[in-house]
Amino acid sequence: MDKPAQAASALTGKRIIDLSRVLGGPYCTQVLADHGAEVIKIEPPQGDETRDWGPPFHEGDAAYYIGVNRNKRSMGLDLTQPAGRDLLLQLLDGADILLENYKPGTMEKWGLGYEAVLRERFPRLIHCRVSGFGADGPLGGFPGYDAIVQAMAGWFSVNGEKGSQPTRLGIAMVDMGTGLYTAVALLMALAERERSGLGQYIDMTLYDCAVSLMHPHIVNYKYSGKIPVATGNAHPNISPYDTFRTRTVDIFIGAGNNGAFAKLCEELGCRELTEDSRFTHNIDRVNNRADLKAELESRLMKIDGSELCQRLLQAGLPAGPIHDTAQVVAHPHTQHRGMNVEQDWYRMTGTPIKFSRTPGTLRYLPPKFGQHTREILVEYGLTVEEVDALLGAGVVLEKRR
């Protein structure tokens, strides 16, 4: 992310009015902002609550907030006031995307619903709502947080060690997965608009995305009738695909086909295992995974795991040591791939999307609340006096209420 700021990126010229808070929506808009989209982050008077989700903090803002809000400008706006809603309509003039994650019905209650108002007034606008469960159906309108949806969509039931209690994933992957799905949806809508000239409404939910990401567990259940359970680090459909102990460190090995298994056995000096009827094909290895793990670990416990991983990788076999967060950050490949970004006080991961001509950029550090309120309003043609009046009335804000 070291391209000169003045050069065009993939989404340069696209404007997003971002009313979202917490993680899914902000993660989505950061992905788009990294690649040139102009993102105006509209925060309620009390601010995005993740500013308080610490420790750790930097100058009053939690690292949690800092991690998903770079390349955006912040403006405080009170949409409960009619003047605030009128101002939002001004901001939407010429915008490409409106993203929000209010409870379904909120925008409609404010007279800002897509069908009733926005579609006719801004025919090219793409309005995307991210909610827990959508507006209708048995769970329609209910609130949803990452962990609750993980639990309800079955993730807890397949996570953890065999026989363990249902366990939450250590990453908020429902929120972040929804953010990524939403970014894909928005890019699809922009592509379709090139053909039709029209925007549309996008209904994204945490629940739908979480169910969609339950692969291969749901499809396994649909074809077998067996309810999937937690299998620890072992894959339910592939073996060996698991963590293994070595003399020095725990490692993960994935051998997804007969050829890879044969190569693994050759590297470990146990080619006889390929001729063992318990391990001939993947289905045999899955059905006898405990025996196979015992056979492999009896060899692995005599070997330096780090050295073995390098040898296996060079032989074309996926394998790697189990790292903690500090080791990931310090790893030379993390640095080589540009996944450590530092500027002034800012320290974060880089973008994983690597374009050849239009790589991502770091244009704005994560903003303080309302940092750009005046700047944005002046760009939209308001006078200094009009901005002062809006600030005085509490319609727009530069400091959290």
Asked whether the beta carbons of 48 and 196 are under 8 A apart, the reply is no
pLDDT surpasses 80 at 111: yes
**CATH assignment, 241-330:** 3.30.1540.10
Encoded amino acid at 3, one letter? K
Distances (CA, A) of 108 to 10, 64, 136, 368, 389: 33, 30, 14, 29, 27
Asked whether the beta carbons of 129 and 101 are under 8 A apart, the reply is yes
- Structure tokens of 180? 């990524």
pLDDT of amino acid 46: 97
Pairwise CA distance, residues 387 & 3, whole Å: 34
pLDDT surpasses 80 at 31: yes
Give the DSSP per-residue string, 347-382.
EE---S---SSS--B--SPPPPTTTTHHHHHHHTT-
Q: At what angle do helices 258-268 and 289-300 cross, to 10 degrees?
A: 30
pLDDT surpasses 60 at 3: no
Pairwise CA distance, residues 361 & 37, whole Å: 11
- What b-and-e string marks burial along 333-370, b requiring 16 or more CB atoms within 10 Å of the CB? ebeeebbbbeeeeeebebbeeeeeebbbbbbbbbbbbb
Pairwise CA distance, residues 167 & 163, whole Å: 11
**Range 195-214 average pLDDT:** 98
Q: Which residues are catalytic?
A: 175
Q: What is the mean pLDDT of the chain?
A: 96
- Structure tokens of 97? 């995307």
At 49, is the secondary structure helix, strand, or coil?
helix
What tens digit of pLDDT does each residue of 322-341 get?
999 999 999 999 999 999 99
So where are the chain's domains?
15-213+336-397, 241-330
pLDDT of amino acid 4: 41
H/E segment holding residue 291 = helix 289-300
pLDDT surpasses 80 at 26: yes
**CATH assignment, 15-213+336-397:** 3.40.50.10540
Which is higher by pLDDT, 184 or 6?
A: 184
Distances (CA, A) of 160 to 17, 99, 201, 344: 39, 34, 38, 39
pLDDT surpasses 50 at 311: yes
Positive/negative CA dihedral, 341, 343, 345, 346? negative
**Range 37-58 average pLDDT:** 98
**Range 61-90 average pLDDT:** 98
- What b-and-e string marks burial along 129-153, b requiring 16 or more CB atoms within 10 Å of the CB? bbbbbbeeeeeeeeebebebbbbbb
Which residues lie closer than 8 Å to 84 by C-beta, 6 or more apart?
77, 78, 395, 396
**Range 39-65 average pLDDT:** 98
At 14, is the secondary structure helix, strand, or coil?
coil
- Structure tokens of 222? 């649909």
**Range 316-327 average pLDDT:** 95
What tens digit of pLDDT does each residue of 386-400 get?
999 999 999 999 999
pLDDT surpasses 70 at 295: yes
Strand 72-77 relative to strand 61-62, pairing: unpaired
Number of helices (H), then strands (E), belonging to the chain: the values are 17, 14
Partners of 40 in beta bridges: 17, 73
Closest CA to 18 of 378, 364, 389, 388: 364
Partners of 321 in beta bridges: 251
pLDDT of amino acid 1: 60
Q: pLDDT grade, residue 7 (50/70/90)?
A: confident
